[in-house]
Amino acid sequence: MPVVTPVQYKHMLDRARDGKFAYPAFNVTSTETANAVLLGLKTANSDGIVQISTGGAEFMSGLGVKDMAKGAIALANYVHYMAQFYDVNIALHTDHCHPKYLEKLVLPLIEETERRRSAGLPNLYNAHMFDGSELGLAENISKSSELLKRCAASEIILEVEIGVVGGEEDGHDTSGVAKEKLYTTPEDMVATHRALSPIGPYLLAATFGNVHGVYKPGNVKLKPTILKDGQAAIAAACNGERSMLVFHGGSGSSLEEIHETLEYGVVKMNVDTDTQYAFTRSIADHMFKNYDGVMKIDGEVGDKKTYDPRPYMKKAEQNMANRVIQACNDLRCAGKSAGRTL
């Protein structure tokens, strides 16, 4: 089916909130990894999100261009075309755009959607993420409000982050951040909701000890009750309203912790580290098992069947798709595609 419309995407999020499940948002860097996401979602009979980061978007544009916006536009156009051949609903997001990258990624993409809408074409992306967590709360909310006004005019949802997700992603290292910033306060969640909710739909990445990167289960110390307390504070201050929440940095989290966050309003969870590993693991396996074939050693010619990229890229696509299916099961969205009823 085509990439969902703004109205359809809003329905998707409402279904997740009401049904206490979440959509996985898979970061991709290529058409191959995008294909793996689409295959996994189709196999799991789950709706879901294809997502690209600043670094992923630049990589997507190739070494000869190295332009975030161009790479993100190319990825979106590819997914728009291919999604129509899959019987699940697909949304498109950008991920973690820090203030210094706004003019390189998010603003050009909003401009592209504005251009498309004026020509009667569908939106390019369903949502963009502005990560202003490095700013003070007041400045973060101010810039987020300004961005949301422009996004709302084109029916784009804005995802924002308050508090800081620890670790490192796309070269952005927050390991030196004070520990208290890893936990969003109820007061900050209320202030954010009061400022943004009157403008338009938004998603909130509130932090509760989550960390980007690679961790063994049990090594990440989450406090999901922070989300519960924040939602209760929003409801008390804003006539029973609740925010739609996003879970970042989920690697190493237990299934019990993930399920607990779904009870508190998480409707989207980012998945990147685990799918990167799944994709690369298959390629490494192929290379180790076929070393003599993929290398022209001592003047030999190698084995074209083993160094042809297609066989090992197919393995990588399937292995990553398998990890996509696992994420859908973990987030309770497997088997719940709304199909053409949206």
Q: Catalytic one among 14, 47, 87, 95?
A: 95
Judge contact between 17 and 43, C-beta under 8 A. Answer: no
Half-sphere exposure of 232 (CA within 13 A, CB side): 7
Judge contact between 191 and 139, C-beta under 8 A. Answer: no
Q: Is 95 a catalytic residue?
A: yes
SS3 assignment, position 50: strand
The strand pair at 157-162 and 168-169 is best described as unpaired
Which class for 299: exposed (0-12), middle (13-18), buried (19 or more C-beta within 10 A)?
Answer: exposed
Tokens of 131: 């990560």
Pick left, alpha or beta for residue 213 (phi over 0 → left; psi -120 to 50 → alpha; otherwise beta). left
SS3 assignment, position 203: strand
Judge contact between 20 and 62, C-beta under 8 A. Answer: no
* Total residue length of the chain: 342
- CA 291/CA 307 separation, integer angstroms: 9
Q: Which residues are catalytic?
A: 95
